[in-house]
Structure 1
C-alpha cells in the first residue's frame, strides 16, 4: 500500500473518497487549461486538426492502457522504490520511468512538422515529466492507482478526440505551464495526506 492514513485528531478537509475524485479532476482540468487559453489568445483553433480515422477506436485502448500503466508504474514499481529509497527519492525516479510510454505515444501519434525533432522531444519530455510527477503524488496521496489512471485517461481521451490546431511559439510554453500547474493542483488537493510524507522527507535530510 502506498499510503496509510493514520487517525489522529479531528479530520479536516475532504475525505479520502472525495480527494480520490477531486485529484484526477484537478489534474486533468489544469493540465488541459492551455487549450482554452491558447484559443482565447488565438494560438489555437478547435476542430481543425487532422485526426486519424482510428482515433475513436484508440480511446478504449488508451483508457485501458492508462489504468494498466498506473498499476505497473505508480503501483508496483513505485512501491518497490519506496521500500528501498530514502523518503522523497521515489516520486522523481518513478516519474522519470513513467515518462517513457506517454512520451513515445505522443511523439508517434502527434508529430509536429517543420519543427526540430530535438525541440519537440525536449518540450514533450518536460511536459510529460511534470504530469508523471503529479501522477506519482496522486498515487501517494490517495493510496491507489485508480485515480491516477482516471486522470491519465482524461488527458489522453481529450488528446485523441478533440481536434486542435496550434500555431505560434507561445503554445509550448503554455502547455508546459499547464503541466506544472497540474502538479501544483494535485499538491493542493492532496496536501493533507501528503503532509506526513513531506515531514518524513524533511527529517531524512
Structure 2
C-alpha cells in the first residue's frame, strides 16, 4: 500500500466515522422527535378525551336536572289532582247532606247577627226552604226579623239580606268551603302525602 492509498484510506475511514456519527446523531434526534410527537399526540388525545368527558358530564347533568324537574312537576300535578278530587268529594258530600233543625237555626242566627237591620230575607237551597220556614216560625225572635224565605242556587247554608238588598251576609256552605279549604289544604296535603 502506497502513501496515497494510506491517506486515501485514512480520509475514507474518517469520512465513514463522521458519516456514522452523523447518522447516529440523526437517528437519536429522530427518536427524540418521534418520542416528543408521541407525547404531544398523547397529550392532545388526553385533552380531547377530557373535553368529551366534560361535555358528556354536562349533558348528563342537564338531562338529570330536566328529568328531576319533570318528575317533580308530575308529582305536583298528581297531588293537585288528588286534592281537587278530594275537595270535590267533600263538596258533593256536603251538598247531598240533609240539614237539621238545629243546624239550620245556627246558620240563620249566625247570618242574621251580621245584619244591622230589623227585617231580613233568607235565601236557602231549594230543598231547605220548608225547613228554614219551620225553624223561623218556631222561634219568636227569628219570626220577628225574617220577612220571607226564598230559594237560591247553593249546596246548603243561609244567606241573610236586608229587605232593600243593600247588605248581604253569605253563610252558605259554598262560601264556608271557599274560605276554609285553602286554610286546610296544607294540613290535608301533609296528611295525604306525608310519606311521599
CA radius of gyration, larger in: 2
Q: Which has the higher contact order (CA 8 A, sep 6+)?
A: 1
- Scaled by the length of structure 2, the TM-score of the pair is 0.21
More strand by share: 2
- Scaled by the length of structure 1, the TM-score of the pair is 0.21
